[in-house]
Amino acid sequence: MRIRLLGTNHRTAPVELREKLAVPFERLPNAVQELRQLPGVREVVLLSTCNRVELLWVDDGACVEDLIGLLGSWASMAPAAIEPHLHKLADDEAVKHIFRVTSSLDSMVLGESQINGQVKDAYRIAADTGTVGPLLHRLFHKTFAVAKRVRSETNLGASTVSVANAAVDLAAQVFDKIEKQPILLLGAGEMGELALKGFKSRGARDIWVSNRTLERAVELAGPLNAAVLPWNRRVEFLETADVVLCSTGARDPVLTKADVASMRRKRRGRPLFLIDISVPRNLDPAIASLDSVYLFDIDDLGRAVSEGKASREAAAGVAEELVADEVHAFSKILSQVHVAPLLKALNLRARKQASDEVERSVHKLVQAGVADEATLRAALDALANSLTRKLLHHPLQQIKAMGREGELDGIGDAAKLFGIETTLLSVRELDEPAPPRVRTGSDES
């Protein structure tokens, strides 16, 4: 059994590819079930955010090409077009990666907080769907503990700039007085709410919210003292808005080049600033070709983030050392998990063989009239148990030492040496505690 990871992120793939591979939140339960049904996939969790699509699984002889093929089928893409953008990790490297991701060491913005919640969501969905078993339960419990240590023991998040805040910063650089610019939010998700709070903190007063579901727009706008715009008026409102922030879950553009072009003349040369932090992108990329219109997507925001970078990088160095220590510690834990069934099997086998020998000896000696059966059985049982303990003492100590040192190959060889056919993995499904409920999080920056 191996822990393996396969995926793509903002470092390995452009937004054009990531938006095709992205799995909608409501599709995640079915997606992990499809992955779990592939041959050799024992347990699996799927993480899909605006910046990454990664799957982590317990491998029992799975064909990686099958997993890539399934990802491709979801995106209607040939596996050959996806594979160059994928990273493939196993064992300690896979563990290290999920530790780093959850601790926000692999995020577009170091130290952002949203990814931790997203990983918890991915784990919860897989656990509720039944695709998480004892090994991934153990791994993700450890993952969240590592992320908590990073937050509490380093300053990685002290100067965090989220993508939402980066959007506000970028708008403030374009307009001298952001508080006077009409701002329109399309969508009412977590990222949009964070951005609105950022604009509000900069003094913006003319804020509008438009969402397909009017009730959700009203719910978001109320605490921020923002106005609500009916969704079917979003295009005509481009005559008024100077800043448009888009953060929806739509699969197709909610504003096209034709929509924006139709309102340009009415703006009389005033610049229009559009920020698309959705994946898939919800603003037609062709909009960027229009004069006096400035369109930025999530990758542009990532390149624009610079505030607090030096301090976050210094804290990241400390966090990386912490993660490395935790990977080593988990490797030992994993080895002990593999050792436990071997030790149990070895003890049971030795005691069964000793018991069989006692039965044969008792039968022979009773037949010969040497002594009564009860006396013989007691004496021989004591002898068999004593010999079993003495003969197994050194091998068991050596196997335990291999576990402490993380020598999985040595453990497997020991199992073969003693003729033990046992899966080197703890599979205590019956007494494994249920996964804890976890709070949901917002979008990764």
The answer to whether position 434 is within a domain reads: no
Q: What is the pLDDT of residues 201-211, one digit of tens each?
A: 888 889 999 99
Residues 175 and 155 grouped into a single domain: no
Q: Which range has the worst mean pLDDT, 50-54, 176-180, 244-248, 405-409?
A: 405-409
- pLDDT, residue 340, reads 61
- pLDDT, residue 107, reads 85
DSSP 3-state of 235 = coil
Residues 146 and 175 grouped into a single domain: no
Token representation of residue 174:
């374009």
The answer to whether position 325 is within a domain reads: no
Distances (CA, A) of 273 to 142, 184, 185, 239, 254: 43, 10, 12, 12, 16
Contacts of 439 (CB under 8 A, 6+ apart): 117, 120
DSSP 3-state of 297 = strand
CATH of the domain at 245: 3.40.50.720
The answer to whether position 430 is within a domain reads: no
> Which residue has better confidence, 230 or 358?
230
Residues 108 and 202 grouped into a single domain: no
The answer to whether position 322 is within a domain reads: no
> Which residue has better confidence, 110 or 306?
110
Residues 205 and 281 grouped into a single domain: yes
- pLDDT, residue 157, reads 65
Domain that holds residue 279: 163-304
Residues 263 and 347 grouped into a single domain: no
Residues 34 and 106 grouped into a single domain: yes
What string of DSSP letters covers 53-110?
Answer: EEEEEEESS--HHHHHHHHHHHHT--HHHHGGG-EEEETHHHHHHHHHHHTTSSSSST
Contacts of 90 (CB under 8 A, 6+ apart): 2, 3, 4, 5, 59
Nearest to 142 by CA among 337, 423, 318, 411: 337
Q: How far apart are CA 408 and CA 362, in angstroms?
A: 41
Q: What is the pLDDT of residues 310-362, one digit of tens each?
A: 666 777 788 888 898 888 888 777 766 656 666 677 777 777 777 777 777 76
The answer to whether position 366 is within a domain reads: yes
Residues 12 and 81 grouped into a single domain: yes
Residues 153 and 6 grouped into a single domain: yes
What amino acid occupies position 188?
A
Average pLDDT over residues 287-316: 76
Which of 8-17, 148-157, 358-367, 417-426 ranks highest by mean pLDDT? 8-17
CATH of the domain at 26: 3.30.460.30
The answer to whether position 310 is within a domain reads: no
Residues acting as catalytic residues? 50
Percent of the chain with pLDDT over 90: 37
Nearest to 239 by CA among 275, 200, 281, 208: 208
Our count of domains for the chain comes to 3
